[in-house]
Structure 1
Amino acid sequence: MTDNTPSKIPDKRPASPAENGPRKRHKADPPDFSQADEVVTFLIGPFTEGATPKTFLVHKEIVCYHSPVLNAAFNSGFVEGQTQTYKLEDVNQGTFKLFVQWLYFQKLALAVFEEDYDSEEHITDQDMEVVTYQQLVELWVLSDRLGIPILQNFVLQTIRRISDKINRVPTIILAYVYENSSEDSKLRQFFVNEVGSHANESFFGPKYKSRYPHQMLLDLAIWYTQPIDEAKEYTVEDFFVLVETQDSSKWA
Structure 2
Amino acid sequence: MVHKDFACHYSPVFQAAFNSSFIEGQTQEYRLQDTSEIVVRVLINWFYTKKVDVEALGFTGESIKTAYYETRFISLVELWILAEKLLIPELQNMVIREFYRLKLAAMIVPTSCFHAIYEDTVVGSPLRRLCVDICVVYLKHSVYRETADQIPHDMFVDLVARFSSLNRMELDINIEAYQVAEQ
TM-score > 0.5 by shorter chain: yes
Secondary structure of the residue that 2:38 maps to in structure 1? helix
Does 1 or 2 have the higher relative contact order (CA < 8 Å, sep 6+)?
1
Greater strand proportion: 1
Secondary structure of the residue that 2:67 maps to in structure 1? helix
Q: Which residue of 2 aligns with 1:217?
A: 156
Q: Which protein shows a greater Rg?
A: 2
Size of the alignment, in residue pairs? Answer: 163
Q: Is 1:227 matched up with 2:166?
A: yes
Q: Deviations over 1:81-135 (max 9, x none)?
A: 11111112211112112111111111123239xxxxxxxxx75332121111111
Q: Is 1:175 matched up with 2:105?
A: no
Choose which of 84, 109, 112 in structure 1 pairs with 2:28.
84
* Structure 1 residue identity aligned to 2:96: L
Structure 1: segments with no counterpart, 5+ residues: 1-56, 113-121, 230-252
Q: Is 1:100 matched up with 2:44?
A: yes
Secondary structure of the residue that 1:88 maps to in structure 2? coil
Choose which of 69, 73, 76 in structure 1 pairs with 2:13.
69
Q: Map 1:1-252 onto structure 2 (within 5 A).
A: 57-111=1-55, 123-206=63-146, 208-227=147-166
Q: Which residue of 2 aligns with 1:3?
A: none
Identity %: 33
**Whole-Å Cα distance in 2 between the matches of residues 184 and 110 of structure 1?**
25
Structure 2: segments with no counterpart, 5+ residues: 57-61, 169-183
Q: RMSD between aligned alpha carbons?
A: 1.9
Greater helix proportion: 2
* Structure 2 residue identity aligned to 1:174: F
**Whole-Å Cα distance in 1 between the matches of residues 29 and 119 of structure 2?**
28
Q: TM-score, normalised by structure 2?
A: 0.82
8 Å contact from structure 2 (residues 52, 95) kept in 1: no
* Structure 1 residue identity aligned to 2:81: V
